């Protein structure tokens, strides 16, 4: 069976393999620290790799597939990409928020993902993934900028750099920028995205969850009653 877009297939597979290699380091760190934020970051990396593999297969073989199978493959790839966005966002929220606020924002993130999944089920436009990813990256960029400037978190500069590189990759892809007739905008996106994943992995290894504020135990104790011993 011939491959329709060999360079896109190869770069998709390279991105997936590189992401899985970086995920191994995240797995080791998450296991050592028992950190939920790093575990969520790890899940996002696995989702990116799975999305890349399915996307590569679709680019390579979809013209000769049964249309229903090709559509299912593309839809699964898009949902996995959105799953990665959700997991990245949930991990970052655990770093910058806690308690009730974390629950509310996490619920909003999950609701956004559910709406996206239902929308993708009836509309296979890749721009939906771009919009969903852009919204997530914007939130992460804002929080990471604050984390680097105000809280001096070691993870923040790495995460921010990864997000900015990923935004650049998407800008090139949506602008259909290519550097060679046999190396199109999708191929360039995959190569640049590998750089983004490296910086995001370095940031992920340094993620530390925000500690909830401890209650003032003295303030919650009942006042002594005069005359009691």
CA distances to 40, 156, 182 from 10, rounded to whole Å, are 27, 32, 12
Rounded Cα–Cα distance for residues 41 and 56 (Å): 23
Separation between Cα atoms, residue 141 and residue 139, nearest integer Å: 5
Say how far apart CA 134 and CA 119 lie, in whole Å: 17
Q: Which of 1-15, 110-124, 160-174, 208-222 has the lowest mean pLDDT?
A: 208-222
- Phi first, then psi: give them for residue 180, nearest 5 degrees: -165, 150
Task: Indicate the pTM of the whole model.
Answer: 0.87
In this predicted structure, the answer to whether residue 184 has a pLDDT above a threshold of 90 is no
pLDDT digits (tens, 9 = 90+) for 2-22: 778 889 999 999 999 999 999
Average pLDDT over residues 158-179: 90
Rounded to 10 deg, the angle between the 185-205 and 6-33 helix axes is 10
State the pLDDT at residue 102. 94
pLDDT tens column, 40-98: 999 999 999 999 999 999 988 888 888 889 888 988 998 999 999 999 999 999 999 99
- Ordered by where they begin, the domains of the chain are 6-209 (1.20.1070)
Residue appearing with tokens 């997991």: 87
Lookup: tokens for 198: 């490296």
Q: Quick one: pLDDT at residue 1? A: 58
Band of pLDDT at residue 181, cut at 50, 70 and 90: confident
């Amino acid at each position: 069976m011939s491959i329709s877009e060999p360079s896109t297939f190869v770069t998709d597979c390279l991105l997936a393999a590189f992401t899985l290699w970086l995920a191994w380091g995240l797995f080791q760190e998450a296991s050592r620290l028992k950190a939920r934020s790093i575990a969520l970051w790890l899940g996002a990396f696995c989702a990116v790799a799975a999305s890349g593999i399915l996307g590569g297969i679709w680019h390579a073989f979809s013209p000769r597939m049964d249309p229903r199978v090709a559509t299912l493959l593309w839809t699964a790839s898009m949902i996995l990409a959105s799953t990665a966005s959700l997991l990245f966002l949930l991990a970052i929220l655990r770093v910058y928020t806690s308690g009730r606020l974390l629950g509310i924002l996490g619920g909003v993130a999950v609701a956004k993902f559910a709406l996206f999944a239902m929308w993708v089920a009836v509309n296979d436009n890749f721009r939906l993934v771009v919009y969903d990813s852009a919204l997530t990256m914007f939130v992460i960029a804002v929080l990471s900028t604050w984390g680097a400037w105000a809280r001096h978190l070691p993870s923040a500069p790495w995460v921010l750099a990864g997000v900015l590189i990923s935004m650049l990759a998407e800008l090139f892809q949506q602008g259909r920028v290519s550097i060679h007739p046999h190396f199109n905008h999708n191929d360039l996106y995959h190569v640049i995205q590998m750089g983004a994943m490296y910086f995001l992995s370095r940031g992920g290894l340094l993620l530390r969850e925000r500690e909830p504020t401890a209650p003032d135990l003295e303030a919650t104790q009942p006042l002594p009653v005069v005359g009691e011993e």
